[in-house]
């Protein structure tokens, strides 16, 4: 290779917002190490034995559940035959960044384990698609509306915990203000506009905020009439994360009463993407949705 020619990257470029997301980086690095291991013809157990790792450590690193230390990365790359200095340096730089603390860890006192996968990865997405049958999506909620939603939940929370959950929701929303913010495409059930959450004043403020967000170029909101959601047969809310990188698989998140489903299995992701496509095709257009929303706002005057 000529001295002026750069080594081809191990990763799909550019990484963009992903470089500032330690959780996403762990998944990307783990996936790349898995590819390199398979190419080297090795099983995870073989790697554990050869490098003196504890049982299943290689598998946990590949799944992004175990942070990869620089020394481990060096040993793994050497074992897999990656000797190019540029590639090793790039890999180690991303390993270092993946070991930084995620912003959401400061909310670990109120962040449930089942909600963590969504919070951890939504900022790294290129597109966030969501369907919400009961409330305005969390990324579009005002503080007062969010407080009313949180207080109506099944758990009896102390005022401090309610405030912390509202703060977490607002911190998530700040990701939409970043230069590399994901595009948000939300479909909400028509009943969401009819359900007065927190009282008339809170609801009016929420609907006005929703209308303002709909005018942003990277935010699309559609209202699905009641007969549409009945015919499509949705059943529950879902969030779909679309990543621009081939190194990070798309994901779906479905929240239940006390737990959630988070999956990157292609078949599951495709099924819910198709469902969102059908909803979007049958729902009111963004312009029609805004007209309906403004009509609801006038009713709270």
Per-residue pLDDT tens over the stretch 65-109: 888 999 999 999 999 999 899 999 999 999 999 999 999 999 999
Ramachandran assignment for 56, one of left (phi > 0), alpha (psi -120 to 50 degrees), beta (any other):
left
Give the C-alpha distances (Å, rounded to integers) separating 175 from 14, 120, 171, 183, 227.
19, 12, 7, 10, 33
User: What value does the mean pLDDT take over residues 15-27?
Assistant: 84
pLDDT confidence bin for 255, thresholds 50/70/90: confident
Per-residue pLDDT tens over the stretch 37-62: 999 999 999 999 999 999 999 999 99
User: What value does the mean pLDDT take over residues 185-198?
Assistant: 95
Residue 63 has pLDDT above 70, yes or no: yes
Percent of the chain scoring above 90 in pLDDT: 75
Residue 217 DSSP class: T
Adjacent-strand bridge partners of 301: none
Q: Which fold has domain 107-299?
A: Endonuclease; Chain A (3.30.870)
Give the C-alpha distances (Å, rounded to integers) separating 132 from 35, 135, 217, 276.
36, 6, 21, 11
Answer whether 16-100 and 107-299 agree in fold. no
Give the C-alpha distances (Å, rounded to integers) separating 46 from 16, 26, 34, 38, 248.
34, 22, 13, 11, 25
User: What value does the mean pLDDT take over residues 22-39?
Assistant: 93
Nearest CA-CA partner of 248 in 275, 269, 219, 220: 269
State the Cα angle at 222 between 288 and 128, rounded to 5°. 150
pTM above 0.95, yes or no: no
What's the mean per-residue pLDDT of the chain? 90
Per-residue pLDDT tens over the stretch 168-177: 999 999 988 8
pLDDT confidence bin for 13, thresholds 50/70/90: low
Q: Write down the CATH number for the domain with range 16-100.
A: 1.10.260.40
What confidence score (pLDDT) does residue 10 get? 75
Domain ranges, ordered by start, for the chain: 16-100, 107-299
Cα 168 to chain centroid distance, Å, stands at 14
Residue 231 has pLDDT above 80, yes or no: no
Is 240 in contact with 290 (CB distance < 8 Å)? Answer: no
What confidence score (pLDDT) does residue 153 get? 81
For the chain, the 3-state helix, strand and coil shares in percent, each to the nearest 5, are: 55, 10, 35
User: What value does the mean pLDDT take over residues 265-278?
Assistant: 93
Is 232 in contact with 278 (CB distance < 8 Å)? Answer: yes
Higher-confidence residue of 51 and 114: namely: 51
What confidence score (pLDDT) does residue 38 get? 96
């Amino acid at each position: 290779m000529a001295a002026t020619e750069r080594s081809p990257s191990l990763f799909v470029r550019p990484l963009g917002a992903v470089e500032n997301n330690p959780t996403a980086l762990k998944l990307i690095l783990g996936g790349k190490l898995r590819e390199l291991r398979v190419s080297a013809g090795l099983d995870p157990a073989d790697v554990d034995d050869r490098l003196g790792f504890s049982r299943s450590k290689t598998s946990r690193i590949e799944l992004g559940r175990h942070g990869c230390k620089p020394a481990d990365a060096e040993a793994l790359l050497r074992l897999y035959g990656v000797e190019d200095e540029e590639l090793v340096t790039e890999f180690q730089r991303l390993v270092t960044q993946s070991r930084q603390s995620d912003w959401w860890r400061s909310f670990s006192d109120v962040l449930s384990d089942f909600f963590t996968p969504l919070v951890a990865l939504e900022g790294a997405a290129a597109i966030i698609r969501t369907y919400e049958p009961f409330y305005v999506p969390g990324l579009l909620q005002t503080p007062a509306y969010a407080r009313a939603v949180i207080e109506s939940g099944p758990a009896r929370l102390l005022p401090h915990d309610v405030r912390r959950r509202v703060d977490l929701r607002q911190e998530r929303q700040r990701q939409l203000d970043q230069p590399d913010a994901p595009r948000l495409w939300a479909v909400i059930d028509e009943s969401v506009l009819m359900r007065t959450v927190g009282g008339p004043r809170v609801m009016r403020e929420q609907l006005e905020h929703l209308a303002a967000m709909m005018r942003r170029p990277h935010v699309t909101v559609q209202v699905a009439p009641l007969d549409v959601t009945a015919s499509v047969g949705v059943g529950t809310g879902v969030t779909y994360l679309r990543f621009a990188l081939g190194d990070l698989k798309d994901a779906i998140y479905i929240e239940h009463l006390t737990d959630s489903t988070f999956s990157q299995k292609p078949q599951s992701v495709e099924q819910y993407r198709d469902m969102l496509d059908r909803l979007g095709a049958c729902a009111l257009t963004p312009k029609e949705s805004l007209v309906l929303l403004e009509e609801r706002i006038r009713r709270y005057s």
